[in-house]
Amino acid sequence: MDLVLLEKALLGLFAAIVVAIAVSKLRGKRFRLPPGPLPVPVFGNWLQVGDDLNHRNLSALARRFGDILLLRMGQRNLVVVSSPAVARDVLHTQGVEFGSRTRNVVFDIFTGKGQDMVFTVYGEHWRKMRRIMTVPFFTNKVVQQYRTGWEDEAARVVADVKADPKAATEGIVLRRRLQLMMYNNMYRIMFDRRFESEEDPLFLRLKALNGERSRLAQSFEYNYGDFIPLLRPFLRGYLKICKEVKERRLQLFKDYFLEERKKLASTKPVDNAGLKCAIDHILDAEKKGEINEDNVLYIVENINVAAIETTLWSIEWGIAELVNHPDVQQKLRNELDTVLGPGVAVTEPDTQKLPYLQAVIKETLRLRMAIPLLVPHMNLHDAKLGGFDIPAESKILVNAWWLANNPDHWKKPEEFRPERFLEEEAKVEANGNDFRYLPFGVGRRSCPGIILALPILGITIGRLVQNFELLPPPGQKKLDTSEKGGQFSLHILKHSTIVAKPRMI
C-alpha cells in the first residue's frame, strides 16, 4: 500500500519539478518578486533555511535581503516584513488586502476549516464573529465586571505562595500557580467558573488537551506535507491524531462547560443587569441564528489558545526579567509603596497611576514579545508591496520582534531598560501607535484581548512585587532566560524556579 503511495509520490515529484521550473520561468518574467535566497525546484528555499523560521533567524535574513523578502517553502510563498514602513502598509494601508490568515491541513482540522475567528480569512464570517465576541469579551465593561475577580485570583496566588514553605527557601516554579490563575481569569469571564487547585482533574484534562493542540498545530513535523502537497498522503497518521485531539477537546468544552451553563440558565434565568458571563451572550447569538453550534465551540477554542498562554508567557518573562534586574524590581516596589502606600494591594484602576509598572510591562512585551511574528497574515489575491509583486495566498510574516529590537531604531535594544518608555520612547504605547512597537499587532486583525491582557499583567506583576522579594534560587546569580520557539510564540526555555521571600510590611 505504502509502496504504491511512494511510487505515485515519486512520479508526482518528477512532474512537479518540471512544472515548477516552467512556472518559475513564466512567473519570473511576469512578476517582480521580492528578493530572497535562490530557490531550487520543488523544495524552494526549504533545505537552505530549514524549518525553524524564528524571529532571530528571520531578522538575520532581513539584514541580508532587506525589509521585504520572499522565501519559497516548497510550493508555499512566505513573505517576511521587517520595517515599520512596510508593516504599516501590510497592517494599515492595505489592511483589507493582507487581512486574511493562511490555512493548512492541520489548522483546517482545529478550526473546522475556518469556522472560528482567529484563523479565518478576512470577510463576512470574520466580521460577524469579531462583532459577536466584542461585547462579551473585549470592552471596558468586561474589565470592570471581572477586575475584582482578577484581583481575587492574584490575592490567592500571593496567599498560596506565602503558605508554601519552599517558596522562601529553595524556591518554586511560580509559573505553575500562575497558570491556574490565568485559566481562572479567563474561565470566570467565559463560564463564570474557576478551578480550585492545580490538581483539579478537570483543569488537568483541559490543560493537557490545550497543550496537545498547541504542540500539534505548531510542530514542524508536518511541514513536508504542507510545503509539498504531493507528500500530503504521508501525513495521514499525523492528521488522525489531530482529529482525535480536536474531537476530545471540543467534546470536553461541550460536556463540562457549555451544557452545564445551558442547564444553569434553564433553571435560574440570568438577569440582564450584568450577571451574564461571556458564553451567555454567545449562546444568545446562536439562538438568534447569527452563528451555529460549531461556531460557539470554536469561540471557546479560540479563547483557550489566544488568551491564556500568551498572557502567562508575558507574566513569566516579566518576572524573570525582574529577578535578573533587582534594581528595576526595587524601583517598581518603591513606586508601588509610594503611590499606593505600603501594604495597599494594587487594583486595576491603580495601574493607571503607576507609570513605572506600565514601563516594566511595555519593556517585557518589547524584548520578550509573546507572538513575535504576529499571527501570520495572508493576501487572498495577487498584491503589491513596496514595489514588489506578492503572489496570491502568500503567508505574510511581520517580524514585530525585529521592529522592536532593531538597533537602527532603538537605543541598545538588547538591554532590559523600562526607563526607555519614560524617556526617549515615552510616547510609545502597546496599542500600535508606533509601527516600531506592535506586541499586539495593529489594524483589523490586531489583538482585541489587549484590553484584558494589560490590566491582568499589571495586577499580577504588581501584587507579586508588592508582596515578595523575587530572587533566583540559592547558588544561582541569575535565571536562565534562554528562549524557546519564536515562529509561533516565544517562551522561556526552562520554567524558572524562583525564590519568593515575603516582605515584612
Q: Which of 400, 392, 398 is nearest to 376 (CA)?
A: 398
Site mask for ligand HEM (CB under 6 A), range 334-373, x = bound: ------------------------------------xx--
At closest approach, how far in Å is the CB of 354 from ligand HEM? 18
Rule CB under 6 A: is residue 452 a binding residue for ligand HEM?
yes
Rule CB under 6 A: is residue 374 a binding residue for ligand HEM?
yes
Nearer to ligand HEM, 102 or 446 (CB): 446
Nearer to ligand HEM, 45 or 394 (CB): 394
Stretch that binds ligand HEM, among 6-14, 206-214, 325-333, 449-457 (CB under 6 A): 449-457
Query: Of residues 149, 391, 448, 473, which one binds ligand HEM by CB under 6 A?
Result: 448
Q: Alpha-carbon distance 117 to 115, whole Å?
A: 7
Residue 240 neighbours by CB under 8 Å, 6+ apart: none
Place of cell 533545505: 47
**Taking CB positions, which residue lies at the least distance from ligand HEM?**
449
Quick one: CA dihedral 455, 456, 461, 464, positive or negative?
positive
At closest approach, how far in Å is the CB of 336 from ligand HEM? 21
Nearer to ligand HEM, 310 or 406 (CB): 310
Q: Alpha-carbon distance 316 to 178, whole Å?
A: 8
Query: Of residues 390, 440, 463, 500, which one binds ligand HEM by CB under 6 A?
Result: 440
Residue 305 backbone class (left: φ over 0; alpha: ψ -120 to 50; beta: rest): alpha
Show the 3-state SS of 82-99. CCHHHHHHHHHHCCCCCC
At closest approach, how far in Å is the CB of 360 from ligand HEM? 13
Q: Which of 80, 103, 76, 94 is nearest to 383 (CA)?
A: 94
At closest approach, how far in Å is the CB of 319 from ligand HEM? 14
Rule CB under 6 A: is residue 74 a binding residue for ligand HEM?
no
> Residue 437's Cα: distance from chain center in Å?
16
Nearer to ligand HEM, 300 or 354 (CB): 300
Residue 449 DSSP one-character state: T
What's at 399, amino acid-wise?
N
At closest approach, how far in Å is the CB of 93 from ligand HEM? 14
Interface of this chain with ligand HEM, residues 118 to 147, rule: CB under 6 A: 118, 130, 137
At closest approach, how far in Å is the CB of 478 from ligand HEM? 24
Query: Of residues 445, 466, 490, 491, which one binds ligand HEM by CB under 6 A?
Result: 445
Residue 232 neighbours by CB under 8 Å, 6+ apart: 105, 225
At closest approach, how far in Å is the CB of 90 from ligand HEM? 9
Instruction: Check whether 277 is labelled as a binding-site residue.
Output: no
Helix (H, G, I), strand (E, B) or coil at 374: coil
Interface of this chain with ligand HEM, residues 266 to 325, rule: CB under 6 A: 302-303, 306-307, 310-311, 314
The DSSP secondary structure of 291-355, one letter per residue, reads S-HHHHHHHHHHHIIIIIHHHHHHHHHHHHHHHH-HHHHHHHHHHHHHHH-TT----TGGGGG-H
At closest approach, how far in Å is the CB of 193 from ligand HEM? 16
Residue 275 DSSP one-character state: -
The enclosing H or E element of 81 equals: strand 76-81
The partner residues of 169 in beta bridges, in order of sequence, read: none
Provide the binding-site residues for ligand HEM, judged by CB under 6 A: 117-118, 130, 137, 302-303, 306-307, 310-311, 314, 370-371, 374-375, 439-441, 445-449, 452-453
User: Known binding site for heme: residues?
Assistant: 447
User: Known binding site: residues?
Assistant: 447
